[in-house]
């Protein structure tokens, strides 16, 4: 051992302490390098049953295929018998509603609502039923045997409406000898100011200012129903106000040139969120110009209802 130490010390030029450390470290290195390999060779078990395993797997595959043909296919592809027909929701029974593609729970809710004394007066009343989605309403709306909106309750109202539709918007008139406004009047919601809106019952300074501000951001109202998009306008309040509102058929809302507009200009529109603006700008940089509203359907953040709602406010040039 002393001779070996002397050889190591002379060969490497180690000190006495370094030589002692090398003599301890060298065997440890040998153990770490070679012992694991020896251990694997001694304990390794050779597996030679591949053929039997293959036969067993083939039999399992054949059994699975047989079960799929006899049972699984029928469960995966159920038979359906949906057929769209005209229906009156106040009179239709549960079976008739389910035949239209309405699920059983939603059909039960509609029946319970009618049996409790409720009634659907216009088509959009169906959307008040919990679980009646906008997409389902869009499919069934042409087949609902109800009016789109309520008719005016008085001949006087109808005459006033027709007169307003065929003429330029007129300021409010007061009865002779009285300071009060006429009992009924109609408003062009694109022409009325905040003071005009406050003459309607249920509309105060807060709501009137919100309507005017929303109209400015929107670029004008395309349809009366958009009043419901104003923050705070409930469905019950809208039902009261709807008969007083009108949009001139010749009115054209302000449009955003979607292919030229900046991020800030697009994001300022109340119908377009920040995430949707980012996706529009990214799509323009990747794919080029938007040529029609159908191009918006390529964006994941827009559904068909949003596209229809937004189309009057976009210019695709």
pLDDT digits (tens, 9 = 90+) for 174-190: 434 433 334 567 889 99
Beta strand 245-246 pairing with 187-188: parallel
Are residues 194 and 268 located together in one domain of the fold? Answer: no
Q: Residue 82's pLDDT is what?
A: 58
On the question of pLDDT at 35 being above 90, the answer is no
Instruction: Using DSSP, state whether 197 is helix, strand or coil.
Output: helix
101-107 mean pLDDT:
85
Q: Residue 72's pLDDT is what?
A: 43
30-56 mean pLDDT:
72
Are residues 277 and 219 located together in one domain of the fold? Answer: no
Are residues 304 and 277 located together in one domain of the fold? Answer: yes
- Is 111 or 172 the better-scoring residue by pLDDT? 111
Residues 226 and 247 sit within 8 Å (Cβ to Cβ): no
Which residue shows structure tokens 């302490």? 17
Which residues constitute the domain of residue 7? 2-39
Distance in angstroms (rounded) separating the CA atoms of residues 38 and 34: 7
Backbone dihedral angles phi then psi of residue 87, each to the nearest 5 degrees: -150, 155
Q: Which of 36, 154, 288, 221 has its CA nearest to residue 211?
A: 221
The chain-wide mean pLDDT, for the chain, equals 79
Q: Read off the pLDDT band of 287 (50, 70, 90).
A: confident
On the question of pLDDT at 161 being above 60, the answer is no
On the question of pLDDT at 220 being above 90, the answer is yes
In the DSSP assignment, the letter for residue 149 is S
On the question of pLDDT at 50 being above 80, the answer is no
Tokens of 263: 């991020």
Distance in angstroms (rounded) separating the CA atoms of residues 228 and 246: 14
Q: Residue 60's pLDDT is what?
A: 77
Are residues 195 and 240 located together in one domain of the fold? Answer: yes
Are residues 98 and 130 located together in one domain of the fold? Answer: yes
Residue 50: inside a domain: no
Instruction: Using DSSP, state whether 314 is helix, strand or coil.
Output: strand
Instruction: Using DSSP, state whether 188 is helix, strand or coil.
Output: strand
Distance in angstroms (rounded) separating the CA atoms of residues 243 and 221: 16
247-261 mean pLDDT:
91
Q: Residue 219's pLDDT is what?
A: 93
Tokens of 42: 């001694």
Are residues 206 and 161 located together in one domain of the fold? Answer: yes
On the question of pLDDT at 20 being above 80, the answer is yes
Q: Note the pLDDT tens digit of each residue in 272-286.
A: 999 999 999 999 888
Instruction: Using DSSP, state whether 245 is helix, strand or coil.
Output: strand
Residue 44: inside a domain: no
Distance in angstroms (rounded) separating the CA atoms of residues 234 and 229: 9
C-alpha dihedral, 286 to 289 to 291 to 296, nearest 10°: 40
Q: Give the range among 4-18, 51-65, 203-217 with minimum mean pLDDT.
A: 51-65
Q: Note the pLDDT tens digit of each residue in 188-208.
A: 999 999 999 998 888 999 999
CATH classification at residue 194: 1.10.150.320
Are residues 99 and 160 located together in one domain of the fold? Answer: no
Counting the structural domains of the chain, the total is 4
- Dihedral angle sign, alpha carbons of residues 268, 269, 275, 281: negative
Q: Which of 249, 304, 248, 302 has its CA nearest to residue 273?
A: 302
On the question of pLDDT at 216 being above 70, the answer is yes
Are residues 160 and 242 located together in one domain of the fold? Answer: yes
Are residues 260 and 197 located together in one domain of the fold? Answer: no
Percentage of residues of the chain with pLDDT beyond 70? 80
Are residues 268 and 311 located together in one domain of the fold? Answer: yes
- Is 212 or 317 the better-scoring residue by pLDDT? 212
This prediction has a pTM of 0.44
Q: Note the pLDDT tens digit of each residue in 67-85.
A: 655 544 444 434 444 567 8
Residues 142 and 87 sit within 8 Å (Cβ to Cβ): no
- Is 164 or 198 the better-scoring residue by pLDDT? 198
């Amino acid at each position: 051992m002393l001779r070996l130490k002397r050889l190591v010390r002379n060969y490497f030029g180690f000190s006495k302490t370094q030589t002692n450390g090398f003599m301890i470290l060298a065997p440890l290195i040998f153990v770490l390098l070679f012992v694991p390999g020896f251990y694997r060779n001694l304990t390794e078990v050779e597996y030679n049953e591949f053929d039997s395993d293959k036969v067993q797997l083939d039999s399992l595959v054949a059994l699975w295929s047989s079960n799929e043909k006899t049972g699984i296919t029928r469960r995966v592809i159920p038979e359906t018998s949906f057929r769209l027909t005209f229906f009156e929701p106040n009179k239709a029974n549960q079976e008739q509603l389910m035949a239209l593609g309405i699920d059983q729970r939603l059909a039960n809710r509609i029946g319970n609502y009618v049996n409790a004394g409720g009634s659907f007066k216009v088509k959009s009343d169906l959307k008040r039923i919990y679980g009646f989605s906008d997409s389902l309403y869009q499919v069934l709306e042409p087949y609902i045997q109800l009016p789109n909106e309520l008719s005016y309750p008085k001949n006087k109202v109808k005459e006033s409406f027709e007169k307003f539709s065929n003429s330029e918007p007129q300021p409010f008139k007061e009865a002779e000898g009285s300071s009060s406004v006429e009992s009924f009047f109609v408003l062009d919601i694109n022409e009325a100011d905040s003071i005009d809106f406050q003459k309607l019952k249920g509309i105060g300074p807060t709501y009137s200012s919100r309507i005017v501000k929303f109209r400015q951001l929107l670029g004008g109202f395309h349809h009366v129903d958009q009043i419901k998009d104003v923050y705070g306008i409930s469905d019950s309040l809208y039902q009261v106000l709807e008969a007083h509102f009108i949009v001139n058929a010749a009115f054209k809302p302000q449009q955003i040139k979607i292919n030229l507009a900046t991020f800030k200009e697009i994001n300022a529109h109340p119908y377009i969120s920040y995430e949707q603006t980012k996706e529009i700008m990214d799509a323009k940089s990747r794919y080029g110009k938007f040529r029609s509203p159908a191009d918006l359907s390529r964006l994941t953040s827009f559904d068909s209802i949003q596209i229809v709602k937004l189309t009057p406010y976009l210019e695709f040039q």
